[in-house]
Amino acid sequence: MSDQNSGHAHETFDLLVIGAGPTGLACAIEAQKAGFRVVLVDKGCVCNSLFHYPSHMTFFTTSELLEIGGIPFPSPNAKPTRNEALEYYRQVAAHYRLDVRQYRLVERVSGADGDFSVHTIDRFGRRDELHARKLAIAIGYYDLPNMMGIPGEELSKVHHYYDDPHPYYGLDVAVVGGKNSAAIAALELWRHGARVTLIHRGEGMHRHVKYWIKPDIENRIKNGEIRAFFQSQVIEINPDAVIIDTPEGRKALRNDFVFALTGYHPDFDFLERLGVECAGVDRLPACQKETLESNVPGIYLAGVIVAGERTNEIFIENGRFHGRQIAEALVAKLKPQIAQAGAANLQHTASSK
């Protein structure tokens, strides 16, 4: 696995994958297996979204459903952990010797089908330009939290990602949200000694909370071990309290930290800057079902972004197969173009002698 500038100013890849998560890695592997030259770029590390999952997280699925590249995912547990997954995907990337350019933010894309230029900037402000015939966009959605848009949200005590419960022992912690991430965070924080208040605008925990988690959080609330305010919302955060609107009126709650686990969304602005059309209330990107090519020729979509705002439809378990679909489309479209270009070069060379 490489993170070095190739040094070839005019080096052209057959496929450039934006996003080096499990789906992006799968896209690169399948294209590489089909004989194409591939490079990946990511604004963070390999599997950046997984890295930002809670440190003690256990997947809801079994390890074989997370496998990519035909490489078995061994795990001693019925359901693998975040750390096991990170180790697995690192090993897969190393096995296939994938060219991954980490910590490269894509600023813009120019050019067109057959000759794209991807302009990146690294964490030191250095810019680079990579050239590719085709692009695959596998950027996921976990990097962009849904903001509450309230006063005090910018305070350092407010977090949109939950990592580890230890730093919050003995403190007053508010968890905002009613789905899986909020339920898991509230339970872990309470079990590690935090005084937890859960705040959710719904009438109760969301129906999509996993069946083995839902009764646990509901029983903790019923027993008064975790305080909960439903049909309520935070309207302001200050250094010592959160202000919430409840059915019983406005309340100020003593508070040290807030976890605003209100969901995340794909980077639709980035897609639209590429020319990809996102339509309807769910902002579904224009995408051919069989090939996953968008309305922009040469730009393919993979992973959760294919479903737009419906982020509960595509996961690693099914998004990992998108790489195979894209590779098959490349074989059909790109190989004839490469062969034609090669024949033209041979003809030009012969005529110039």
CA–CA distance from 78 to each of 60, 62, 63, 64, 89 (Å)? Answer: 10, 6, 8, 10, 18
Rounded to whole angstroms, the Cα distance separating 322 from 328 reads 10
Rounded to whole angstroms, the Cα distance separating 233 from 212 reads 26
What fold does the segment set 158-260 form as a domain? Answer: FAD/NAD(P)-binding domain (3.50.50)
Count each helix (H run) and each strand (E run) in the chain, helices first: 8, 17
Domain 12-144+264-352 class?
Answer: alpha beta
| Confidence band for 5, pLDDT divided at 50, 70 and 90 | very low
Residue-level pLDDT at 335? 77
**Which one is predicted more confidently, 8 or 193?**
193
Residue-level pLDDT at 353? 55
Angle among Cα 27, 308, 145 to the nearest 5 degrees reads 95
Same fold, 12-144+264-352 and 158-260: yes
| Confidence band for 334, pLDDT divided at 50, 70 and 90 | confident
Rounded to whole angstroms, the Cα distance separating 269 from 282 reads 14
| Confidence band for 123, pLDDT divided at 50, 70 and 90 | very high
Q: What rounded mean pLDDT belongs to the chain?
A: 92
| Confidence band for 8, pLDDT divided at 50, 70 and 90 | very low
| pLDDT one-digit tens code per residue, 285-302 | 999 999 999 999 999 999
The domain segmentation of the chain, as residue ranges, is 12-144+264-352, 158-260
**Which one is predicted more confidently, 189 or 212?**
189
